[in-house]
Amino acid sequence: MMEATKERIEELLRGVIHPESGANIVDGGFVDNITADGSRITVSLRFKKTRDPFAAKLKNQTQSLLEEHYPELKGSITVFVKEAAPARPVEEVRRTTTGDISHIVAVASGKGGVGKSTVAANLALTLRNMGYSVGLLDADIYGPSQPKMFGCEGAVPEAERIDGYDYIVPIEVKGIKLMSIGFFIRPTDALLWRGAMATNALKQLIHQTLWGKLDFLLIDLPPGTGDVHLSIISELKVNGAVIVSTPQQVAVADVVRGVEMFRHENVNIPVLGIIENMSWFTPAELPDHRYYIFGHGGAAAYARQCDAPFLGEIPIVQSIMEGGESGVPAVESDGAVNDFYRHVAEKIVDKLQ
Ligand code: ADP
């Protein structure tokens, strides 16, 4: 076993990568101090952000790596995180365009295909119908679908230069300010994006879009949980998260992980509640019947179990599916559908008061 010198430890820690910056923790400046005297190793890490969401993960990685390499010192290896340096540089804060947004709400799901994007689009329009000014950021890097849902595929946002800085003008569609990663990439390219690349592109969209004054910005997150999610939500002051699930998906590990991600001490974003999508099916010829194809009451029960509000149910309705295809979301055309989303939107507004 090689002796634990400061230089060797440093070399070892070059194998630990900060997912957001893509740099190893030594060259990225995250290692504050290393002491090694032959019988004890102490490493302190310091992060640039006050609550870096990767702090706990990197601390654990560093600890495991050192214990693996120096098993004889196990028990005498300490890795700790020093209090972060104060705030972000003034310049960076000045340049974000999110300063005039009252409420930022993340729309998340454990898995793809549960209707997260459909819910985000219809909720955005419902909030607009309630008289609020609304923006929608489609950050679903793996399947940006909002341009299609709003019938503006192929739109090219304009750039605007103000005081020497470049900004992006959102596409205004149906009274919503829409920005999507899909305006800039082909879906096939998105699949090839690595974490850091996706994160950087999304950060640009977040901070350089001319959102103006908004009551609500909804963020259509990618499905699941991961480094891209943590990066996006740590970039912004997200006021709350809503989690969309189908009845049969609700208690599965992916949804549970989603709730835990938002509630993690380094993330600390209130879970405003769970929305159950595809709750039941009513055939047109039997308007009083509800067929609970995917089971009944699952999301409400899970919400109770994890102590999160239950925000409501959206049934399977043909017009909702068709709205996603035609570029006119169903709340625009179907009064009955509108009522379901309205109920959910009112609860969200209520939770944010
Ligand atoms: P996700 O964003 O979770 O991947 P989408 O919003 O793209 O899911 O929805 C997946 C598919 O399900 C789409 O074809 C959409 O039109 C359809 N869909 C979503 N919610 C409903 C619903 N309540 N009723 C009928 N079809 C729905």
Specify the 3-state DSSP secondary structure of 83. coil
Q: Is 113 in the pocket of ligand 1 (CB under 6 A)?
A: yes
Q: Is 93 in the pocket of ligand 1 (CB under 6 A)?
A: no
Cα 107 to middle of ligand 1, angstroms: 14
- The closest of 205, 237, 213, 216 to 134, measured between CA atoms, is 216
Q: Is 293 in the pocket of ligand 1 (CB under 6 A)?
A: no
The per-residue pLDDT for range 262-275, each reduced to its tens digit, is: 999 889 999 999 99
**Which residue is associated with the tokens 């300063």?**
99
**Amino acid type, 73:** L
The per-residue pLDDT for range 8-28, each reduced to its tens digit, is: 999 999 999 998 888 999 999
The fold adopted by the segment(s) 6-83 is GMP Synthetase; Chain A, domain 3 (3.30.300)
Rg (CA), the chain: 23
Q: Are 277 and 115 in contact (CB under 8 A)?
A: yes
Helices (H) and strands (E) in the chain, counts: 12, 13
The per-residue pLDDT for range 75-117, each reduced to its tens digit, is: 889 998 886 555 444 444 457 888 899 999 999 999 899 999 9
Cα 232 to middle of ligand 1, angstroms: 23
pTM > 0.85: yes or no: no
Q: What confidence score (pLDDT) does residue 142 get?
A: 81
Rounded to 5 degrees, φ, ψ at 187 are -55, -35
Q: Is 324 in the pocket of ligand 1 (CB under 6 A)?
A: yes
CA distance 26 to 18: 10
Q: Are 30 and 62 in contact (CB under 8 A)?
A: no
The per-residue pLDDT for range 124-170, each reduced to its tens digit, is: 999 999 999 999 999 988 889 999 999 999 899 999 998 888 899 99
User: 246-261 as b/e, with b when 16 or more CB fall inside 10 Å?
Assistant: bbebbbeebbbebbeb
Same fold for the pair 6-83 and 93-352 = no
CA distance 152 to 172: 10
Q: Where are the domains of the chain?
A: 6-83, 93-352
**Amino acid type, 120:** A
Arch. (CATH architecture) of 93-352: 3-Layer(aba) Sandwich (3.40)
